Amino acid sequence: MLDALRDVGHTTAAAAHLESAVSLPPDEQAVAVAAVRLLGADVLAPYALTGRTPPPEEGAAVALALDALPPAHPAPAAPPEGDEQPWVRAWIDWSVVTVLARIDPATDTPAAPVPQAPPRCDPGPDRRRPLGAAPGEPAQEGWVPWSVRMGHLSSLALPGLDGPVHEAARSGLLGLARGATRAVLRRDFPTAARITRWLAWAHAERLPLPLDPAPLTEHIALLGGGGRLALDTAIARHLLGLEHV
């Protein structure tokens, strides 16, 4: 995927990945399909970042993965009524279906319901305040668990996507900044990279931020490791205008 970011239009990451799995046993082929699904919209990040149309085989490969592991209908309930993991998965499914339909309308994609909105961030001193609100008010929670949850949704931080998760990010920029800083101080660089990517997205949206995400992104890229972190920081750098595809 990092190669695709550097060579957009000439690298078919998903198609090549699935093609290489054709000769594998069925259970290993299933794992290969699941790997494409786990990336969510990031499998199409090179095209979302540039507005270019993916090669036909790339869109077909993503659609194949969606058909093999279709989005849940109806979408699971949001926390605290529902379990967090299926709800996060539902948002990731929505993101990849939405991005594919936008950048490659010719591809036949399965429908993905819009899940329930996330809670809003309470950036106050009670940083771990549990979910809950008075009747008729939207649920809020402290910025620590809220920012970690937003990190789990970082594959939605791409141009052209907009929805309730993005509205929550816009209204919780201070919570995101605090969450990213806390993760760096704890040396939890994968979490820091995911949360900082939202700050990079907000920068690309020209929103006023409580800190500069550019040096934070470079710091995380320098000290952190692993393929997922490298992908998150590469996308953040593109959003910040530090790299060009």
pLDDT in tens, the chain (245 residues): 556 565 544 567 787 877 776 766 777 677 777 888 888 899 999 999 988 888 888 888 888 888 888 888 899 988 878 899 999 999 999 999 999 999 888 888 888 899 999 988 987 776 776 665 555 556 788 999 999 999 999 999 999 899 999 999 999 999 999 999 999 999 999 999 999 999 999 999 999 999 999 999 999 999 999 999 999 999 999 999 987 54
Instruction: Please check whether residue 101 is in contact with residue 109, taking contact to mean a CB–CB distance below 8 angstroms.
Output: yes
Residue 9's pLDDT is 47
Residue 137's pLDDT is 59
Residue 173's pLDDT is 97
Residue 29's pLDDT is 73
- The rounded Cα 111 to chain-centroid distance in angstroms is 19
- Dihedral Cα 121, 126, 131, 133, nearest 10 deg: -90
Tokens coding 141:
């929670």
Neighbouring residues of 81: CB distance < 8 A, sequence distance ≥ 6: none
| Separation CA 233–CA 168 (nearest Å) | 21
Tokens coding 58:
């790339």
Contacts 24+ apart (CB under 8 A), 160-164: 160/48, 160/51, 160/99, 160/102, 160/103, 161/41, 161/48, 161/95, 161/98, 161/99, 163/94, 163/114, 164/114, 164/116, 164/117, 164/118
